[in-house]
Homo-oligomer: A and B are copies of this chain.
């Protein structure tokens, strides 16, 4: 497997006729070394195929140059954008990126954080399922940044769902709908709460009735039960917690011969891959999730740097926008 002996700073030092500390400086603190010396050292290092051992660096300095991102569920395409943005940003900064799944479990999330604590400089928690209290407590010991979740006092990057949910209501109202039902996601989901609050407020303002049903698993399979529940509710418009659920709902409606949007309108969240080619194509709230991932990593990196530690904005909000496709139409009369 791995070679018997790797070259270390000592090998380089000996060969270059300098002390190990000088080699160390040549790499990690270039300006503290005479330019000529450094060049010489670097050359020898190159020739010997020297590679710094990140583990040794981390053990000694406490800096691991690694961050971890925790995601509830990888099979949800919604997260791809966020993950991708975060990974790109970390990679650009020369930071190793660890991805981990928590299977929608707050306990898992917590234990993963504890397990990885010493191996990373910080965490990006995507759509964290942990309670505010637990999160704040962990944030005292660990470097945390949230994505699509807000907790008082913690840095976060979120795609606003409030204004976006209002857009959904306005859209439905303009089509003559007088009632909507929100098919909710996991009840630990902060986002689900945000969405419902905004939908309800928007509906009230427009004189529409709004009901919430669920929770439903935020996956295609959840769509069957969700669709049936929606039908019983009598609402003319359903807003699904996410596109996965919405696609499942469309499928169930198709099975039952319920025509969308003639008999009922369907709206989703996230604009995932597939939302544009399912049938009917899904009206959904799209957002710059890749940007959110990037911003989160940026917040994390900034906390590490000595400068601008507290001056930096702690909270990034990004705008979402409604993409209108074929799953919404005039309310039936």
Interface: A99 (CB within 8 A): yes
Q: How far is the CA of A142 from the CA of B6 in the complex (A)?
A: 12
Interface residues of A, dominant DSSP: mixed
Q: Is the CB of B273 within 8 A of A117?
A: no
From B55, B99, B118, A99 is in contact (CB under 8 Å) with: B99
Minimum CB–CB distance for A200 against chain B, Å: 31
Q: How far is the CA of A83 from the CA of B116 in the complex (A)?
A: 20
Interface: A62 (CB within 8 A): yes
Q: Is the CB of B117 within 8 A of A51?
A: yes
Q: Is the CB of B62 within 8 A of A87?
A: no
Q: Is the CB of B2 within 8 A of A143?
A: yes
Known: A91-B100, A96-B119. 4 other contacts (CB 8 A): A55-B58, A55-B118, A74-B83, A98-B99
Q: Is the CB of B51 within 8 A of A55?
A: no
Interface: A228 (CB within 8 A): no
| Top-8 shortest CB links A-B | A274-B274, A99-B99, A1-B143, A55-B59, A53-B118, A277-B278, A55-B58, A98-B98
From B54, B117, B119, A118 is in contact (CB under 8 Å) with: B54
What residues of chain B lie closer than 8 Å to A97, measured between beta carbons? Answer: 98-100
Q: Is the CB of B119 within 8 A of A55?
A: yes
Interface: A84 (CB within 8 A): yes
Interface residues on A, range: 35 or more
Minimum CB–CB distance for A276 against chain B, Å: 9
Q: How far is the CA of A51 from the CA of B251 in the complex (A)?
A: 49
What residues of chain B lie closer than 8 Å to A54, measured between beta carbons? Answer: 118-119
Minimum CB–CB distance for A119 against chain B, Å: 5
Q: Is the CB of B55 within 8 A of A1?
A: no
Copies in the complex: 2
Interface: A162 (CB within 8 A): no
The B-contacting residues of A in range 271-288, CB under 8 angstroms, are 273-274, 277-279
Given contacts A1-B143, A84-B74, A143-B1, contact A114 B273 (CB under 8 A): no
Interface: A252 (CB within 8 A): no
Q: Is the CB of A98 within 8 A of B101?
A: no
A: residues with CB less than 8 A from B are 1-3, 6, 51, 53-56, 58-59, 62, 64, 66, 74-75, 77, 80, 83-84, 87, 91, 96-101, 114-119, 122, 141-143, 247, 251, 273-274, 277-279, 303
What residues of chain B lie closer than 8 Å to A96, measured between beta carbons? Answer: 98, 100, 115-116, 119
Minimum CB–CB distance for A222 against chain B, Å: 15
Q: How far is the CA of A132 from the CA of B62 in the complex (A)?
A: 38
Q: Is the CB of B55 within 8 A of A2?
A: no
What residues of chain B lie closer than 8 Å to A278, measured between beta carbons? Answer: 274, 277-278
What residues of chain B lie closer than 8 Å to A303, measured between beta carbons? Answer: 1
Q: How far is the CA of A42 from the CA of B303 in the complex (A)?
A: 35
Q: Is the CB of B80 within 8 A of A75?
A: yes
Minimum CB–CB distance for A266 against chain B, Å: 14
Q: What are some 25 contacts across the A-B interface (CB < 8 A)?
A: A1-B142, A1-B143, A2-B62, A3-B141, A53-B118, A54-B118, A54-B119, A55-B59, A55-B64, A66-B119, A74-B80, A74-B83, A74-B87, A75-B80, A87-B99, A87-B100, A96-B98, A96-B115, A96-B119, A98-B98, A273-B273, A273-B274, A274-B278, A277-B277, A277-B278
